Amino acid sequence: MRRRHWEGLGYVLLSLSAGAVLLVLGAVVLFLLVQGAPALSWEFFTSFPRRGMTQGGILPALVGTGYLMAGTVVISVPLGVGAAVWLSEYARGGRWLRAVRVGVNALAGVPSIVFGLFGLAFFVKAMGLGVSLLSGVLTLSLLALPVVIRAAEEALRAVPEEFREGAYALGATPWQAIHTVVLPAALPGILTGAILAVGRAAGETAPIMFTAAAYYTPRLPRSPLDEVMALPYHLYVMATESTFFWKTRHLQYGTALALLVLVLSFYLIAGLLRARARRRKRW
Amino acid sequence: MVTKTRPVEVNQRIEAEAPAFRVRNLSFFYGREKVLKGITMDIPRHRVTAIMGPSGCGKSTFLRVLNRLYERIPGAKATGEVWLDGENILDPRLDVVALRRKVGMVFQKPNPFPKSIFDNVAYGPRIHGVRGRRKLSFIVERALRQAALWDEVKDKLKRSAFDLSGGQQQRLCIARALAVEPQVLLMDEPTSALDPAATAKIEELVRTLSQGFTVVIVTHNLQQAARVSHHTAFLLSGELVEYAPTEELFTRPKDPRTEDYLTGRFS
C-alpha cells in the first residue's frame, strides 16, 4: 500500500516536470505572439529600420543572420564532420585521441561571450579581418563546431559495425568504406545535428557582438568584410541602447518572434529529417 | 606457456595436391589471451572445408585470420605462417586489399549495405575500379546467378536490399562477395540467422560453389558440417583436435574429444 502511494506520487511529480517544459515553451511562444504579432507585416520583413529604429523593419538583420548561418554551415560542417570521422573511424586510442576528445568537450563548455572576445582578439584584431561578416562566421563556427562534432560522431557510431566489415571484407580501403558506406548511412543523423548546432548559433548574441554585428547599416552587406546587422543583436540594441527604446516595444517583440520562428523552424526541419530517416532506416 | 605444435599427421589424410591455404603453426592472441594455439593444416582447393567446434573455440577468429579482417580489432596479433599463392598472408607488408579480393567473406548475420540490390553486388567491382554500366550489369547478373538469386530479383534490381527476406539477403551477400571473383569464400556461420528452408538453399549453394571456389565454412552445427563439407576440422579451446575427410571424422573419430563432441557430451 505504502509502496503504491510512493509510486503514485512519483508518477505525478515526474509528469509535472515533463508538463512544465511544455508549459514554459507554450508561455514564451504565446507571449511573443500576443506582443509581437501586431508588428508583423510585409513591410516589417522587407524594409530597413527608420527614424532611430522606431519605425520600419528588420530586413538587414534578417539578411545578416541568414548570411551568418550560411557561413557557419559552410565552415563548421565540413570541419566538424571531418573531425568526427577521424574520431570514430581512424583514431585507435592513445594520447592524441584523448587530447582531441577533451578539447571537443572543453570547447562545448566555453561560454559564448568568451568566443566573442576571442573572435575580437584573434579574427578581428590579430588576423586583421575587422568587424565583419567573416569574423562573425568564424567565431560562430567555433561555437557550433563541438556540437557538430559530437552529433556527427554519434551518428557515425550508430552505423552498424557489420557495414564496415562488409566493406573491408570486399577489399575496401578505410576511406572507401567511409565515403561509400559509413557516411551515407550516417548522413541523416549528421545533418540533423548540424542543423541543430547552426540553429543554436544563429540565436547567439555574444559571439557576434564584437566581431560582426553593427548597430545599423544603411545597406545590405556586399562582401564578407562588411559589417552586418543580425537579429539577436538588433533585438538587444533596440531593447537597451536605442534612443527611444520605450517607443519600440512592438518592434522588439516582432523581432524576437521572427528570431524564435527562424530558430524553431530549424529545429522543425531537423525533427522532420530525423523522423524521415528513422522511417526509412531498416538496420 | 609452451606452444604445442600439432603433429603434421593430422593432415596426412587430406588431399595434398596444391592446397589453397597452408596454415603453419598459427597462434592468435587477443591481448594476452591465446585464442588459437599452433594450428597447422592444409585447406584444399575447390573443396568445402568445415571448421566446427563449440562457441568460443576460436573458429570465427581462424576465419578472420584468412582475410586479415582481425586487424581491425585493437590488440589482436597472429603468429606463425599462412601461405596462399606463395605469399605469407601474415606478412605485415602484404597488400590486404589484394588479399581480400582473392578471399571473400560472408558473415553470420546477412549484412547488405543500405543500397539497392544492384549497387550491393556492384560494390566490390566498383571500388576496384570497374566502370561502365554494361560491364557492371554483366558482373552483377553473373554473380547473382552464381548465388542462385537472379531469378528472384532480376525484376527489382533497383529495390533496396532490405526488401529481401533474410535468406535472400544472405544469398545477396554471397553474390556481393562473388562479384569480385575471389578464389576463396569464407563463411562464418552463414545460416545461423536463417530459417530451415533458407538454410537448405544456402547449403545447396555451398556445395555447388565448391566446383569453382575454395570454401571455408565455420559452423557449430554438426549436421551442417556433415552435409556440406568435404573435410572437417574440429577446434576446441583454440586447438586443432582433429582434421580429416568429413565422413571419416564423423564415423571414425580418432580423438576421444572429437567423439565426445559428436555424441553431444559437450557443446
- Give the SS3 label for residue B55: coil
Average pLDDT per consecutive 10 residues, chain B (267 residues; last block may be shorter): 44 63 94 92 93 89 94 89 92 93 94 95 94 94 94 93 93 96 94 90 91 92 92 93 94 92 78
**B124 to chain A: which residues are within 8 Å by CB?**
170-171
- The pLDDT confidence band at residue A271, using thresholds 50, 70 and 90, is confident
Query: Least CB-CB distance to B74: which of A93, A172, A173?
Result: A93
Beta bridge pairs of residue B51: B218, B233
The A residues from 138 to 177 touching B (CB cutoff 8 Å) are: 160, 162-173, 176
**B67 to chain A: which residues are within 8 Å by CB?**
169
Tell if the CB–CB gap between A171 and B173 is shorter than 8 Å. Answer: no
**B98 to chain A: which residues are within 8 Å by CB?**
171
- Give the SS3 label for residue A110: coil
> What is the pLDDT at residue A214?
81
> What is the pLDDT at residue A239?
86
Query: Least CB-CB distance to B104: which of A162, A169, A172?
Result: A169
pTM, whole model, 2 decimals? 0.83
The ipTM (two decimal places) reads 0.89
**B184 to chain A: which residues are within 8 Å by CB?**
none
Within an 8 Å CB–CB cutoff, is residue A92 touching chain B?
yes
Tell if the CB–CB gap between B127 and A169 is shorter than 8 Å. Answer: no
- Best of B111, B162, B183, B185 to disrupt the A interface by mutation (most A CBs within 10 Å)? B111
Contact B50, B225 (CB under 8 A): yes
Q: How far does chain B reach from its first CA to its final CA, in angstroms?
A: 26
Element (H, E) at A192: helix A183-202
**B72 to chain A: which residues are within 8 Å by CB?**
164-165, 168
Mean pLDDT of the region A133-157:
94
Q: How far does chain A reach from its first CA to its final CA, in angstroms?
A: 44
Name the residue with higher pLDDT: A54 or B112. Answer: B112
Task: Encode pLDDT of A212-241 as tens digits.
Answer: 888 788 888 888 888 899 999 989 988 887
- Best of A163, A170, A182 to disrupt the B interface by mutation (most B CBs within 10 Å)? A170
Q: What percent of chain B has pLDDT over 90?
A: 79
Q: Is the domain covering A60-282 a CATH 1.10.3720.10 domain?
A: yes
Contact A33, A195 (CB under 8 A): no
Task: Encode pLDDT of A3-16 as tens digits.
Answer: 778 888 889 999 99
Average pLDDT of chain A is 89
> What is the pLDDT at residue A1?
58
| Whole-number Å distance between alpha carbons of A221 and A217 | 8
- Best of B123, B165, B176 to disrupt the A interface by mutation (most A CBs within 10 Å)? B123
Retrieve residue B63's grid coordinates.
Answer: 576465419
On the CB side of B233, how many CA atoms lie within 13 Å of its CA?
Answer: 29
Within an 8 Å CB–CB cutoff, is residue B75 touching chain A?
no
Count of CB pairs separated by less than 8 Å, A with B? 69
Distance from CA of B200 to the nearest CA of A (A): 23
Residue A41 carries which side chain, given as an amino acid letter? S
- Local structure of residue B5 (DSSP, 8 states): P
**A93 to chain B: which residues are within 8 Å by CB?**
74
| Whole-number Å distance between alpha carbons of B173 and B175 | 5
Task: Encode pLDDT of A175-203 as tens digits.
Answer: 999 999 999 999 989 998 998 898 888 88
B105, closest residue in chain A (CA to CA)? A169
Query: Least CB-CB distance to A282: which of B72, B97, B162?
Result: B162
Mean pLDDT of the region A102-125:
93
Retrieve residue A43's grid coordinates.
Answer: 513591410
Task: Encode pLDDT of A151-182 as tens digits.
Answer: 999 999 999 999 999 999 999 999 999 999 99
CB count within 10 Å of CB A110 equals: 13
Q: What percent of chain A has pLDDT over 90?
A: 51
Within an 8 Å CB–CB cutoff, is residue B70 touching chain A?
no
- Best of B63, B64, B67, B127 to disrupt the A interface by mutation (most A CBs within 10 Å)? B127
Element (H, E) at B108: none
B113, closest residue in chain A (CA to CA)? A163
> What is the pLDDT at residue B4?
43
Contact A95, A268 (CB under 8 A): no
Distance from CA of A45 to the nearest CA of B (A): 43
> What is the pLDDT at residue B267?
54
Query: Least CB-CB distance to B69: which of A93, A169, A185?
Result: A169
Query: Cα dist. A105→A101, A148, A149, A152, B27 in Å?
Result: 6, 12, 10, 14, 41
The B residues from 88 to 117 touching A (CB cutoff 8 Å) are: 96-101, 104-105, 107, 109, 111-114
| Whole-number Å distance between alpha carbons of A185 and A195 | 17
Retrieve residue B252's grid coordinates.
Answer: 571414425
Domain ranges of chain A: 60-282
Tell if the CB–CB gap between B114 and A169 is shorter than 8 Å. Answer: no
Contact A84, A156 (CB under 8 A): yes
